[in-house]
Amino acid sequence: MPPALFALTAGAFGIGVTEFVVMGLLIEIGADLRISIAAAGTLISGYALGVVAGAPLITAATSRFSRRDVLLGLMLVFTLGNLACAVAPSYGWLMAARVLTAFAHGTFFGVGSVVAAGLVAPDKRASAIAIMFTGLTLANILGVPFGTWLGQTHGWRATFWAVTAIGLAVMPAIALLVPRDRPEAGAGEWRRDLEVMRRLPVLLGFLTTVLGFAGVFAVFTYVAPLLTRVSGLSDAAVSPVLLVFGGGLVLGNLLGGKLADRGLMPALLGTLAALAAVLLAMAAALPNPVTAVAAVFLLGAAGFATVPPLQSWVLQQAAGAGQSLAASFNIAAFNLGNALGAWLGGVTIEHGPGLAALPLVAALLPLSALGLAWLGREAARRQAVA
């Protein structure tokens, strides 16, 4: 794999830390800014909404420029946003800085996916995308625990100073290693790009992404109470189990890329089916602490094994100058899935069959995504014949 790919991976690592590290620093942020933990928690929601809103808008606005220059600009926004977080004097300032930082997220992963796929031979494209997304998985295993420790021991602002330093290191790496390309013919014609978004296989790909990842986050959002109240593990055991989950993310992500390179549609259907099977089995595994830990690992592996096939499918169906916009829309779809899954999980716990039944309810989501993926395949076949 070319060195430029690892520059993209480093950028993905920094963005992943920024997105998730706030979860471990809610108490410290709340105490310092004199807000409730619930109010501090909205910093996570605000970031997610910033990703959803920013991904299509920023991608469309920058489509006339070289993708390398776009990635550099996005890392500059990322760095300045984290710098603004580090010096934020108030909750409102911090929220605005988080949303600003989130604007770089979706477009970086969207444009970065296109760049990563273009750096390698056609039969290695899904693996290249998977390697870039490994930065996101490593952020969960290494970056977030370290950032949480740093914020708890030296103040939450120290974490954002550290992430700012990551951004400063990644920018010259991208400038030196990522080749400067020329915009494709027709780039910047947003009306034509939106026409690409209207292709039925592309739309079904977006919906498949939303439902597939909603299944993961319907359970993962509530993994701590599942482990402590259903599995009987101690509060202290939750963090080590999350490291196990992170290991599953890395393994599943790389495996999903390999499978997608061998056969994209079989990989897409197979990984969604595997995710549904893991969620169904998880309901039976949770009451036993040992099998519960194994199920959490498999959830991470099966959940992120779907990422390279999902992203590769959308890129394939949006071939042409509209790829960057389609890829960014799909990153927004992942975040919509996160929000939908968390909401559905809460409804299941408070108004449905309860916490223990959460994996069974969540399994319905990748099963639905499996049906949409099959419909997308048929729609793509019909378009190819036409």
For the stretch 51-71, pLDDT in tens is: 888 888 898 888 888 999 999
Token pair listed for 370: 């499996």
Residue 185 confidence (pLDDT) = 53
Residue 231 confidence (pLDDT) = 95
pLDDT score of 189 more than 70:
no
Residue 144 confidence (pLDDT) = 83
Residues 288, 227: Cα–Cα separation, whole Å: 10
pLDDT grade, residue 187 (50/70/90)? low
Residues 307, 330: Cα–Cα separation, whole Å: 10
Residues 103, 88: Cα–Cα separation, whole Å: 18
Q: What is the mean pLDDT of residues 326-336?
A: 88
Residue 39 confidence (pLDDT) = 82
| Range from 49-58, 105-114, 172-181, 256-265 carrying the lowest mean pLDDT | 49-58
| Range from 304-308, 345-349, 375-379 carrying the lowest mean pLDDT | 345-349
Q: Output the CA–CA distances (angstroms, integers) from residue 43 to 196, 220, 242, in the order listed.
A: 33, 18, 21
Q: Which residues contact 64 (CB under 8 A, 6 or more apart)?
A: 183, 187, 188
Q: What is the mean pLDDT of residues 88-116?
A: 93
Residue 318 confidence (pLDDT) = 85
Residue 97 confidence (pLDDT) = 96
Residue 10 confidence (pLDDT) = 96
Residue 206 confidence (pLDDT) = 95
Percent of the chain with pLDDT strictly greater than 90: 59
Residue 281 confidence (pLDDT) = 97
Q: What is the mean pLDDT of residues 333-348?
A: 86
Residues 307, 5: Cα–Cα separation, whole Å: 17
Residue 321 confidence (pLDDT) = 62
Write phi, then psi, for 183 (nearest 5 degrees): -55, 140
CB-neighbour burial class of residue 155 (10 A; exposed 0-12, middle 13-18, buried 19+): middle
Residue 369 confidence (pLDDT) = 97
Residue 262 confidence (pLDDT) = 94
> Across the chain, what does the average pLDDT equal?
90
Residue 242 confidence (pLDDT) = 81
Chain region(s) in the chain for CATH 1.20.1250.20: 1-183, 189-386
pLDDT grade, residue 36 (50/70/90)? confident
Q: What is the mean pLDDT of residues 290-305?
A: 96
Q: What pTM, to 2 d.p., does this model score?
A: 0.82
| Range from 36-50, 116-130, 166-180, 240-254 carrying the lowest mean pLDDT | 36-50
pLDDT grade, residue 324 (50/70/90)? confident
Residue 302 confidence (pLDDT) = 97
pLDDT grade, residue 183 (50/70/90)? low
3-class SS string, the chain: CCHHHHHHHHHHHHHHHHHHHHHHCHHHHHHHHCCCHHHHHHHHHHHHHHHHHHHHHHHHHCCCCCHHHHHHHHHHHHHHHHHHHHCCCCHHHHHHHHHHHHHHHHHHHHHHHHHHHHCCCHHHHHHHHHHHHHHHHHHHHHHHHHHHHHHHHHCHHHHHHHHHHHHHHHHHHHHHHCCCCCCCCCCCCHHHHHHHHCCHHHHHHHHHHHHHHHHHHHHHCCHHHHHHHHCCCCHHHHHHHHHHHHHHHHHHHHHHHHHHHHCHHHHHHHHHHHHHHHHHHHHHHCCCHHHHHHHHHHHHHHHHHCHHHHHHHHHHHCCCCCHHHHHHHHHHHHHHHHHHHHHHHHHHHHHCCCHHHHHHHHHHHHHHHHHHHHHHHHHHHHHHHC
pLDDT score of 300 more than 60:
yes
Q: Which of 27, 52, 51, 50 is nearest to 39 (CA)?
A: 27
pLDDT score of 314 more than 70:
yes
Residue 128 confidence (pLDDT) = 92
pLDDT score of 385 more than 80:
no
pLDDT score of 353 more than 70:
yes
Residue 308 confidence (pLDDT) = 93
CATH superfamily entry for domain 1-183: MFS general substrate transporter like domains (1.20.1250.20)
Residues 20, 43: Cα–Cα separation, whole Å: 10
Terminal-to-terminal C-alpha distance of the chain = 37
pLDDT score of 249 more than 60:
yes
Residues 363, 273: Cα–Cα separation, whole Å: 10
CATH superfamily entry for domain 189-386: MFS general substrate transporter like domains (1.20.1250.20)
